[in-house]
Structure 1
């Protein structure tokens, strides 16, 4: 699957305009039935870094992402959101900030954690908050 799909999911903040990317890691890292902000940020950022930081320098350079034909406009909007300081790289801090925004959107009842239903809704809507 194209790398853009994972960028979108992580971002929308993570999340974003894409297709399924296969089996997703469970963001409930401690398996207590709740996903905290810390768990959500870790699962989002770790996945992004593992997939896209090809040279393992701790950041994702614009050149490490390839947008497939027909997805470049959406991909560019997502990149713009991720690269908050506009330095052509996305750091772990920028990914964490984007994940925090997405977490807040997903925590619809504002109880400080995401339920399985809230996570499913985030995944279903990830393409809608790409632009």
Structure 2
């Protein structure tokens, strides 16, 4: 009986861990490229650029180098129709907040500038790098929670 309980507990732990892992194409970016425990602006922008490039390629339907509100809306509707509502808005719904010049379209340069602004906002103590706690705070806020205390 004890072996059965031990096996059942191990199976539950393994399945929970597997479910917690991001699915294909949704891996968390490795912000700390040199594994020194600090994330610099360059590391942050490099990790963000990889995900942004994939997202931009999906959203820019006419391949003109810009994502318009219509393209963002279409991507959002497609994600909803496939049952991927996520946090209430897909990447298409979020991308338009990076339209820095308010011309109704987002370019790769505007996405890059948005990453720099996000880094500055996340760097709570303004020391020029992000700690594990600052990164955890970001993840919690993105999930709608208050972040670590």
TM range (shorter): 0.5 to 0.7
Structure with greater proportional helix content: 2
Match of 2:106 among 90, 96, 101: 90
RCO comparison, higher one (Cα < 8 Å, 6+):
1
Structure label with greater radius of gyration: 2
Structure 1 residues 5-44: aligned runs within 5 Å:
22=22, 23-44=27-48
Over 3 Å counting, the alpha-carbon distance change for 1:72 and 1:115 in structure 2 is closer
Q: CA RMSD in A?
A: 3.2
Distance 2:90 2:111 in 1: 20
Partner in structure 1 of residue 118 of structure 2: 102
Q: How many residues are treated as equivalent by the alignment?
A: 108
Distance 2:48 2:66 in 1: 14
Structure 1: 5+ residue runs without aligned partners? 1-19
Structure 1 residues 91-130: aligned runs within 5 Å:
91-126=107-142
- For normalisation by structure 1, the TM-score amounts to 0.64
